[in-house]
Amino acid sequence: MVGSSHEAMHRIFQKDPALLTRALQQVLGVPFPEPYDFAGMNVDLTEIEPVERRVDTLLRAETDEGAYLLVVESQGKPDERKRGSWPYYLSYLYEKYRCEPVLIVVTQNSATARWAAEPIHLGVRGCPSLTVRPFVLGPDNVPVIADEREAERDVPLAVLSAMTHGRGREAPAILESLAAALRTIDRDSAAVFVQFVDSCLADSRARQMWRDMMTTIQYFWRHPLAEEVRGQGREEGRVEKGVEMTLNILEWRGVPVSDAIRHRVETCTDEDLLKLWARRAMDVSRAEDLFDADGS
């Protein structure tokens, strides 16, 4: 189970390496050649000297132009030590593998993205011996994917969008579109992506919305994260959880709820009916459409 946003922000590229080259090509406009094969590599760059150095994710991309080493670093905040370690990583990898190394930094923070994008110059001021220019993926260039059809066209990119923008005003629309798009891929992949998003949602309200949506659709029912959510449900009571989930989803989606409908949901004690209403809350445009003509 992914335990932090740091891990999720780079491990998504281990799950779908092709997303990394699409991000370089489409988001950053880098003319990176189309890979025909990827291979995960050992992230340990430690030499004989007892100084441990590890990159977050390291992939080898085979292209018609030759092999590239894609170095992915997840960065939560500025860290001046990286000004020394990043050039070391690239030099070491080139010397060891004789492949062109490419540094990509991913972050959820705009200020960190601006810091990471600054070129690193080593040597004489104005005439450096070595210059490193990281490629940066962050809130200012990763697209906001809040449309269901757009999310379905590239689910991994929609996941990256949710991971990057999950704390902003667009979060409800992004998460709703992604939840619908996850229905179009296999359940195992969906379960992994659900984890990545859950780990990156620092806003507690957005995270609860995501967990309510995922519990309702049950994409990851056999996953450890689902056990955690079900444990919360057992503690709070299944009926109370069903009431809260239905009303919260409507609220997060911006669907108006009248006092009469709120009272009807809050006084319902039928667990199966509440599950049905929660599923419908994902799609209805009017709160009245939660209920069938016969009242169910």
Quote the CA–CA distance of 178 and 148 in Å, as a whole number. Answer: 7
Q: Hey, what are 75's tokens?
A: 């960065």
Q: Vertex 199, ends 194 and 205: CA angle to 5°?
A: 90
How high is the pLDDT of residue 78? Answer: 94
Contacts of 50 (CB under 8 A, 6+ apart): none
Spacing of C-alpha 81 from chain mean position: 26
How high is the pLDDT of residue 233? Answer: 53
How high is the pLDDT of residue 46? Answer: 59
Strand partners, 40: 59
How high is the pLDDT of residue 141? Answer: 94
Please report the beta strands in the chain, taking only residues with DSSP state E, as ranges in sequence order: 37-40, 57-63, 66-74, 100-106, 120-124, 127-132, 135-137
Contacts of 189 (CB under 8 A, 6+ apart): 15
How high is the pLDDT of residue 51? Answer: 45
How crowded is residue 34: how many other Cβ atoms within 10 Å of its Cβ? 12
How high is the pLDDT of residue 218? Answer: 64
Quote the CA–CA distance of 102 and 183 in Å, as a whole number. Answer: 34
**4, 23, 193, 244 from 248: Cα distances, Å:** 25, 33, 22, 6
Q: Which domains does the chain have, with CATH numbers?
A: 5-137 (3.40.1350)
pLDDT along the chain (296 residues), means of 10: 71 86 89 87 61 78 93 92 93 92 94 96 88 95 92 94 82 88 87 86 82 71 57 59 79 80 82 80 81 62
